[in-house]
Amino acid sequence: MDEAAQRAFLRARFGDAARVAMMRPGEWSTVYSIGIPDRELVARFSAYDEDFEKDAYAARYASAALPVPRILEWGPAPDGFYAVAQRVAGEHIDGLDGPGMRRVLPALFAALDAMRAVDLSGRSGFGGWRAAGRATHPTWRAWLLSVGTGAATRGAPGWRELLAGSPVGTRPFEDGLARMRELVELCPEARHLVHDDLVNRNVLVEGDRITAVLDWGSSIYGDFLYDVAKLVFYRPWYPAWRDIDFAAEARAHYDRIGFDVPHFAERLACYCLRIGIADMAYSAFRGRWAEVTRKAERLLEVAPPSS
């Protein structure tokens, strides 16, 4: 669905007087702002419905600490699907400088605590989930290790085929997977709500407050530390955050609230490995060879081989 068709769809839905402007094209969706007389909205288009279904479902978990915008409507559109939500004020967390990120860390950890506290007793499985309630894998460890056998992403071939012709080959992936297998038995079979994409312009902030946690398409059921691991792994991609040790900040937060996290370092290392090797394959799928190399190097930094 091209831009002209998307704009025509929105004008047909909201009227010719609606102010429609593209905000950004994303990896899996295109985003528009819509101005109508009584409110400001955001519309997204995607070839897949599951992301919007999860956004709509995740809104039931919203709280003061975890602000999740309600999806006002979603459904089929020509060549795909669309979703509309109220536009929320705030700047993307990705653009914060070091002091700004430090100011918002307490609110970010409070949001992670709210996700950890979500009651998932009526759900089953681990990994990617749908609104119907069942996730993709029977255990958390099975989902973690499935990175070695599954496709790089939806619609993609397996990692070996993708990485074989890359600048780094398959060795970093294989070594990372081997190190994961050494650590995975220390990862608990506990089911929590995990966002799994807190960067990539998916969190809005104002000052020291989080105003919205967006785009739940990547969300999984699993260990809450997985979201912390994502921040740890991708810190070098945000030079302004170079002096923030997210692992130490998280550990200090859990100590302050009296929450025991056994095998903290080992779990974090396992999840950083999973994130790194999975995202290497994804970057190869997108043909981003410099990113493949960078992620292979990062694997050695966050979880060096045991001596």
pLDDT tens digit sequence for 259-279: 999 999 999 999 999 999 999
Which pLDDT tens digit goes with each residue over 93-127? 999 999 999 999 999 999 999 999 999 999 999 99
The answer to whether 220 and 226 have CB atoms below 8 angstroms apart is yes
- What is this structure's pTM? 0.93
**Residue 205: how many other CB atoms lie within 10 Å:** 22
State whether residue 252 is helix, strand or coil: helix
User: Rounded to 10 degrees, what is the CA torsion of 16, 17, 23, 25?
Assistant: 0
In whole angstroms, give the CA distance from residue 254 to residue 77. 44
**Residue 211: how many other CB atoms lie within 10 Å:** 16
Confidence of residue 79 (pLDDT cuts 50, 70, 90): confident
Instruction: Give the helix/strand (H/E) hosting 23.
Output: strand 19-25
In whole angstroms, give the CA distance from residue 171 to residue 177. 10
Give, in order, the Cα–Cα distances in Å from 118 to each of 129, 198, 219, 224: 15, 17, 13, 11
Task: Write down the residue that tokens 């990617």 correspond to.
Answer: 128
Mean pLDDT, residues 46-52 taken together? 90
Is 188 exposed, middle or buried, given 0-12, 13-18 or 19+ CB atoms closer than 10 A? middle
Which pLDDT tens digit goes with each residue over 159-217? 888 898 888 999 999 999 999 999 999 999 999 999 999 988 999 999 999 999 999 99
State whether residue 77 is helix, strand or coil: strand
